[in-house]
Structure 1
């Protein structure tokens, strides 16, 4: 652009009144002197802070600033007056009614006139949301810490009685037991106890590691893992006359923390058994379908079910229970959801009262 064109463009600006831009803006516009007093403010300043223009002009700007931010803001002003412009400087002001307002400033000093031109946005709501989010993160961190401590304590303390039980099995002289049904029962109990011991040892090992358990990833055969979990609760399955149908190709494998994968399957499996319909035997169908970049695992049962639509917002939250079963603690589905989502997967549920429940889990490959 030539000098003539530039001059013409600058002259054309005078054809447009700037007062509406200054007065009607929702942002706070102000001109402040190097002496620390307002020279000019737009109506938004009075609206946000609650002071009249006369009150704003009669007092030092410092008197409107939150006491905890006064010292820091005045150091910022000294740097600003020395010729440094600032963007997104945040501080708190007190309104006339005593409420705290957060403002984000962009300021430019003009040494020629001894003033600072400044524009501020009211970010109070954003700060409140940030505070609520931080409080939520703190609470979740504390909950996770407590759950870890509970898991560690439970896993550690249970190992001693389980080891004692295994010692009892080793002392048994099975040759003196002639009844085949009793022998079968002892073998089932021994196998279940051995599985429990291995599971407890795995949990303690995981919790003792400093690194996140989610970094301990291995490639797991889905059919083998499901079969292993089923075998670990075989006694419960027989006792309850539960029928389990599986449709999982032996070729399907997923990257996952092995202990957490077994925890997911175990919780869903035992939930289906626990909440079986009293008028029919439980039938649980476990099916997996592999696609190019994901594996979809479904758990379906014909149990008592619940209203999944009415409870959609709290199904996977901690301490949420949908039945009055004596063993219901409201922890299992919370853990399942955490295990799945922390690995980038997804889980959903569709359940109808007296018809049954289907959980659908999508694993990334």
Structure 2
């Protein structure tokens, strides 16, 4: 996970010898994957972690005057609780710099700190920090948020799995807690994730406390924040003597039940009186289950002395009587009013959503569907829940759907896949799905949109464009041929002015023909009807031919084309359709020439980057405005400046190039700074 950041220091400079020495010292202390060390043990369960959490919160070390001592205590306790090899706390020391406050290594029982991470060097990591509260990476080398650290850190340190929890402050994101496992990959349980989230809240409070110490703010405010931190979990503990009316409460329970310890003496009788009348039977049933060897685990309502209602969650174990000691229930109670309100709000969203929402299990049955699902398909909720959802899917879409379900069972999220569902009256609807599977519950959570009408409109549009394009192509061919014959002098010598007008008309015919061809190509690609003849081709020879084909266009605009390549380029081969590749290069080169000033040079560069080959086309034009960059590969997109409009073009070339490139397993992109030109590039896998 991101916290692999520990080994990534800002570069050493002649003016910064201390940082260089610290970096060397830090790297020398990294444990090898073969000797990694936390004791192998079964992961702790929720109640165990809850007990450890309470113990950590109760420790005065969290709020010691020595803040570093608090961080050392916290990282050690988390490592102990989760059997984690490495635990660290990171805080922002500046807007763009994340600094390691403390790293505890279980194997060496050592603490390190001081390492810094620059935001601009690891954009994916910092983007994930801003979007996720918790990130669990079973395979840190392939996880989207941590993969960029693989070569520089994960491999060298032997890091396999990571778990990150974001630390929030009043100002927003202020840091992160990082747990790392060495040598053997590890799947993080839901209980462990909840525990780390709670520890992030504790770290947030410790951070706030340290800031207040540093700034010497009001002492009373510090005490209030410390009290808030110690009670952040809102969990109390109790013990009931099942042979008498005796009941013991910890201080937090008094607060949850809205009474004062000074004038209220708890008893089982008074407890039952405070239960909501509708929930009393539920609580007694749960107690009976615990007595029979089960667990007292129940969520219910209580009525506070002021008449307000509060939701609580009780978990307890029954201890049988031994000798003169009566049987007892020993457990905890947590105020879950806020969570219950959130569940009610989510239920409202589930009910009122116009999109399809559903929950399914591994047996291919829906466990829950919303009203929109019933409305769109015409079935009742009971009908949708009574049989496997595969019975509603179009037979031709069953296999692709099963493939997606298999991918989700392997831990992948599915977004944008489409299948057809049968309506109750017999016709089919087209639904576009986004789904994810929770490995802890083996349930699939999915949402879908009915895109039946949209697909019909897209089909009508494609048919219209195709029809119009074909109908225009035939007369244009005739017009272009006629203009060519007249211009060639077959009908006799023409006046200069007439010759000029004929040439102008012929040029416009060629432009219109090119537009129609591009439109037809794009529609073919969108419909999956474009044919590609992929073969092994020598890349350098292809690019040389593309440059030669566009030299005339460059000469017309007084722009020079210059090709250069890395050593060994004559041996590089790629699997592409050479005609489509020439089409891509013609678009990129003509664009570069079009936007370059006269007497300038367009550079075409070939580079190898590991197992990919990169072809770059660099111009010396005005560059691309920042506001236009997100639109650059959309159809008919053109920069809205008068200079760009004067260059001509339809705005289809780059959109077509993107689709052609990606259809041949390549990628396309650009780099540009306004006023300093633009560099468009395509990349293709190197063919062994």
Instruction: Output the TM-score relative to the length of structure 1.
Output: 0.53
Find 1:76's aligned residue among 383, 396, 399.
Answer: 383
Q: Choose between structure 1 and 2 for higher RCO, CA contacts under 8 A separated by at least 6 residues.
A: 1
**Is 2:630 the counterpart of 1:344?**
no
Q: Secondary structure at the match of 2:627?
A: coil
| Residue 417 (structure 2) aligns with | none
| Residue 629 (structure 2) aligns with | 312
Q: Secondary structure at the match of 1:312?
A: helix
| Residue 177 (structure 2) aligns with | none
Contact 2:670-2:681 within 8 A present in 1 as well? yes
Residues 253 and 213 (structure 1), Cα distance of their counterparts in 2 relative to 1, 3 Å cut = farther
Find 1:273's aligned residue among 551, 576, 593.
Answer: 593
Q: Secondary structure at the match of 1:16?
A: strand
Contact 2:297-2:313 within 8 A present in 1 as well? no
Contact 1:241-1:282 within 8 A present in 2 as well? yes
**Deviations 1:116-159 (CA, angstroms, capped at 9, x unpaired):** xxxx9996xx33xx347x77777777766666667766766655
Q: Secondary structure at the match of 2:679?
A: strand
Q: CA deviation at 1:223?
A: 3.0
| Residue 301 (structure 1) aligns with | 619
Q: CA deviation at 1:285?
A: 0.8
Residues 271 and 294 (structure 1), Cα distance of their counterparts in 2 relative to 1, 3 Å cut = same
Find 1:260's aligned residue among 569, 572, 580.
Answer: 580
The CA distance in 2 between the partners of 1:306 and 1:239, in whole Å, is: 23
Q: Secondary structure at the match of 2:298?
A: coil
The CA distance in 2 between the partners of 1:320 and 1:211, in whole Å, is: 23
Residues 254 and 157 (structure 1), Cα distance of their counterparts in 2 relative to 1, 3 Å cut = farther
The CA distance in 2 between the partners of 1:85 and 1:338, in whole Å, is: 38
Contact 1:305-1:355 within 8 A present in 2 as well? yes
Q: CA deviation at 1:364?
A: 2.0
The CA distance in 2 between the partners of 1:314 and 1:352, in whole Å, is: 16
| Residue 187 (structure 1) aligns with | none
The CA distance in 2 between the partners of 1:270 and 1:43, in whole Å, is: 56
Residues 45 and 253 (structure 1), Cα distance of their counterparts in 2 relative to 1, 3 Å cut = closer
| Residue 232 (structure 1) aligns with | 549
**Deviations 1:315-353 (CA, angstroms, capped at 9, x unpaired):** 111121114434132111111111112222221211233
Find 1:219's aligned residue among 530, 536, 539.
Answer: 536
Find 1:288's aligned residue among 601, 606, 619.
Answer: 606
* Structure 1: unaligned runs, 5 residues or longer: 1-6, 30-41, 51-63, 91-119, 173-192
Contact 2:351-2:371 within 8 A present in 1 as well? no
The CA distance in 2 between the partners of 1:320 and 1:352, in whole Å, is: 19
| Residue 298 (structure 2) aligns with | 17
* Structure 2: unaligned runs, 5 residues or longer: 1-287, 301-311, 315-335, 353-369, 393-420, 422-442, 491-509
Q: Secondary structure at the match of 2:613?
A: strand
Contact 2:637-2:651 within 8 A present in 1 as well? yes
Q: CA deviation at 1:296?
A: 0.8
| Count of matched residue positions in the alignment of Structure 1 and Structure 2 | 265
Map residues 71-220 of structure 1 onto 2, 5 A cutoff.
72-73=379-380, 76=383, 80=386, 126-127=447-448, 130-131=449-450, 212-213=529-530, 215-220=532-537
Q: Secondary structure at the match of 1:310?
A: helix
| Residue 94 (structure 1) aligns with | none
**Deviations 1:80-107 (CA, angstroms, capped at 9, x unpaired):** 5xxx7999999xxxxxxxxxxxxxxxxx
Contact 2:536-2:576 within 8 A present in 1 as well? yes
Instruction: Provide the aligned C-alpha RMSD in A.
Output: 5.2
**Deviations 1:162-201 (CA, angstroms, capped at 9, x unpaired):** 66788899999xxxxxxxxxxxxxxxxxxxx9xx99xx8x
Q: Secondary structure at the match of 1:299?
A: strand
Instruction: Output the TM-score relative to the length of structure 2.
Output: 0.31
Q: Secondary structure at the match of 2:537?
A: strand
Contact 1:213-1:257 within 8 A present in 2 as well? no
The CA distance in 2 between the partners of 1:353 and 1:43, in whole Å, is: 47
Q: Secondary structure at the match of 2:683?
A: strand
